[in-house]
Amino acid sequence: MTTHKSEPIGTTQSPTGEIVVGVVADPVATTLTVAKYLERELPGLLAEQLSDGHWRVEVHRERLPPSDGKRFEMMDLAAERMREHGWDLAVCVTDLPLMIDRRPVVADANHSRNVAVVSLPAFGAMSLRRRVPEVVTQLIRDMRGGTTPKDGSQAHRRSRVPALGGAFKLTTPDQDGVDFRIFANCGRLRLLVGMVRDNRPWRL
């Protein structure tokens, strides 16, 4: 079994009463920048959507393992880091493109484990600073709630945050280990644009 080395940014001890979200980010510029957005903006978004308590985000940088279509390797790593650092939830942020049946996957989440994986290329050329925190907020809201209203229902529409308006589609796949999955509606073009952005060819 491969051991992954984690490099903490900030503290790892949660004061009493706080709900801590651990963000494990690939050690590259784009993902680390997005992780810092999450550290700054996610607590406020979660406080608006949920009344659980005071939220805090801890960021750790670590090379995430390549994952197959089920992405359990990243989820396993997230769960391991969550136990190590005493987090309440964990989110992996990767620059690796994730696909299911040729559809770009924005994110996967597992309610029972309180872990999620977010893939940046599927966001395409969208504003990552706004969209990623909104998507992560939605994932955490669904994980904390335990269930997702039926797609298309009035309750489902009321429960969506702005990021899921038309660009993305949240589903409940019939797959062990994945309770919620978000697809990018624009397909391969969005994925291609996102990969070009993450690779930053203009900096060569």
pLDDT, one tens digit per residue, over 48-85 is: 888 777 999 999 999 998 765 555 789 999 999 999 99
pLDDT at 67: 65
With beta carbons less than 8 A apart as the criterion, state whether 88 and 19 touch: yes
Return the closest-CA partner of residue 19 out of 88, 113, 81. Answer: 88
Please report whether residue 3 resides in a domain. no
Domain of 78, in residue numbers: 17-197
Higher confidence at residue 195 or residue 115?
115
Tally of domains in the chain: 1
118 or 153, which is more confident = 118
Instruction: Tell me: pLDDT of 127 over 70.
Output: yes
CATH code of the domain covering residue 187 = 3.40.390
Q: What is the pLDDT of residue 144?
A: 85
Distance of alpha carbon 56 from alpha carbon 7, whole angstroms: 18
CA distance linking residue 37 with residue 103, whole number of Å: 26
Flag whether pLDDT at 143 surpasses 80.
Answer: yes
> Is 9 among the domain residues?
no
- Per-residue pLDDT, averaged over 2-14, amounts to 43
Residues 35 and 93 sit within 8 Å (Cβ to Cβ): yes
Residue 2 predicted with pLDDT over 50: no
Cα 23 to chain centroid distance, Å, stands at: 8
pLDDT above 90 for 102:
no
Report how far apart the first and last C-alpha atoms of the chain are (Å, whole number).
36
Q: Which amino acid is at 88?
A: D
pTM of the model: 0.77
For residue 109, the cross-strand partners are 116, 180
Query: Where does the pLDDT of residue 39 fall: very low under 50, low under 70, confident under 90, or very high at 90 and above?
Result: very high
